Structure 1
Amino acid sequence: MTLLSLGVVFVFAAVLLLGGALFAPRNATVPLDRRRPVQNQPDSPLTRFAGSAVQLVDRLFAKRQVRLFNREAIENAGLRLSQADFLVLVLAGSFVGALTGFVISGPLLAIFLILVAPLAGHLVLGFLGGKRRSLFDQQLGDTLQLLSGGLRAGHSILRAIDAAATESLSPTSEEMRRVVTETSLGRDLLASLNDTAKRMQNEDFVWIAQAIQINREVGGNLAEVLDQVSETIRERSEIKGHIKSLAAEGKFSAYILMAMPIGIVAVLMVVNPGYMNVMFTHALGWGMIVASAVLMTIGGLWMRKIIDLKF
Structure 2
Amino acid sequence: MDISTLTIGVTLLACVTGVVGLRVYSNGKAQKQELVDRLTYTGQPPAYGRHRRFGGLDQRLKKTGLGQRIDRKIAVTGMDVTAGEYFVYVIAGVLGTYLVVSYLFAPFFGLLAAAIALWAANGFLTMQRNKRTEAFINQLPELTRVLANATQAGLALRTAIGMAAEELESPAREEFGRVANQLAVGHTLEDALGDLNQRLPSRELTVLITTLILSNRAGGTIVSSLRNLTQTLEERKETRREVTTLLAQVRVTAIAIPLLGIGFLLLINGMRAGALDDMAAATPGKIAIVLSAALYALGFFLIQRLSRVRV
Distance 1:194 1:277 in 2: 54
Matching residue of 2:194: 194
CA distances 1:100-126 after superposition (whole Å, capped 9, x unpaired): 9679969x79x9698788656534432
Distance 2:120 2:304 in 1: 21
Matching residue of 2:91: 94
8 Å contact from structure 1 (residues 211, 225) kept in 2: yes
- CA 1:274–1:80 in 2, change beyond 3 Å: closer, same or farther? closer
Matches within 5 A, 1:231-270: 231-270=231-270
Deviation larger for 244-253 or 226-235:
244-253
8 Å contact from structure 1 (residues 152, 223) kept in 2: yes
Say if 2:288 is the partner of 1:288: yes
Q: CA deviation at 1:286?
A: 1.8
8 Å contact from structure 2 (residues 162, 180) kept in 1: yes
CA distances 1:23-53 after superposition (whole Å, capped 9, x unpaired): xxxxxxxxxxxxxxxxxxx589799699895
Alignment RMSD (CA, Å): 3.7
Distance 2:255 2:117 in 1: 25
Give the total of aligned pairs: 264
Over 4 Å off, 4+ runs: 42-53, 95-106, 111-121, 274-277
Say if 2:55 is the partner of 1:54: yes
- CA 1:102–1:267 in 2, change beyond 3 Å: closer, same or farther? closer
Matches within 5 A, 1:1-311: 54-55=55-56, 58-59=59-60, 62=63, 65-70=64-69, 71-79=71-79, 85-91=82-88, 94=91, 98=95, 119=119, 121-274=121-274, 276-311=276-311
Distance 2:27 2:119 in 1: 26
Give the AA of the match of 1:270. Answer: G
8 Å contact from structure 2 (residues 77, 128) kept in 1: yes
Q: Which structure would you say has the larger Rg?
A: 1
Distance 2:237 2:133 in 1: 14
- CA 1:286–1:232 in 2, change beyond 3 Å: closer, same or farther? same
- CA 1:204–1:211 in 2, change beyond 3 Å: closer, same or farther? same
Distance 2:305 2:65 in 1: 34
Q: CA deviation at 1:128?
A: 2.5
Distance 1:96 1:298 in 2: 24
Distance 1:206 1:135 in 2: 16
Q: CA deviation at 1:93?
A: 5.5
Aligned partner of residue 186 in structure 1, secondary structure: coil
CA distances 1:173-216 after superposition (whole Å, capped 9, x unpaired): 11111111111111111221122122111211111111122222
Distance 1:52 1:286 in 2: 40
Q: CA deviation at 1:151?
A: 1.6
8 Å contact from structure 1 (residues 197, 203) kept in 2: no
More contact order relative to length (CA 8 Å, sep ≥ 6) = 2
CA distances 1:208-261 after superposition (whole Å, capped 9, x unpaired): 111122222333231221111111112122222222223233333333333322
Aligned partner of residue 66 in structure 2, secondary structure: coil
Gaps of 5+ in 2: 1-22, 31-50
Give the AA of the match of 1:66. Answer: G
8 Å contact from structure 1 (residues 143, 168) kept in 2: yes
8 Å contact from structure 1 (residues 161, 176) kept in 2: yes
8 Å contact from structure 2 (residues 165, 177) kept in 1: yes
Give the AA of the match of 2:283. Answer: A
- CA 1:262–1:116 in 2, change beyond 3 Å: closer, same or farther? closer
- CA 1:170–1:225 in 2, change beyond 3 Å: closer, same or farther? same
- CA 1:98–1:215 in 2, change beyond 3 Å: closer, same or farther? closer
Deviation larger for 175-184 or 95-104:
95-104
CA distances 1:45-66 after superposition (whole Å, capped 9, x unpaired): 799699895346525763xx53
Identity %: 21
Distance 1:161 1:201 in 2: 19
Distance 1:47 1:264 in 2: 55
Gaps of 5+ in 1: 1-41
Aligned partner of residue 155 in structure 2, secondary structure: coil
Distance 1:261 1:101 in 2: 18
- CA 1:43–1:237 in 2, change beyond 3 Å: closer, same or farther? farther
8 Å contact from structure 1 (residues 133, 201) kept in 2: yes
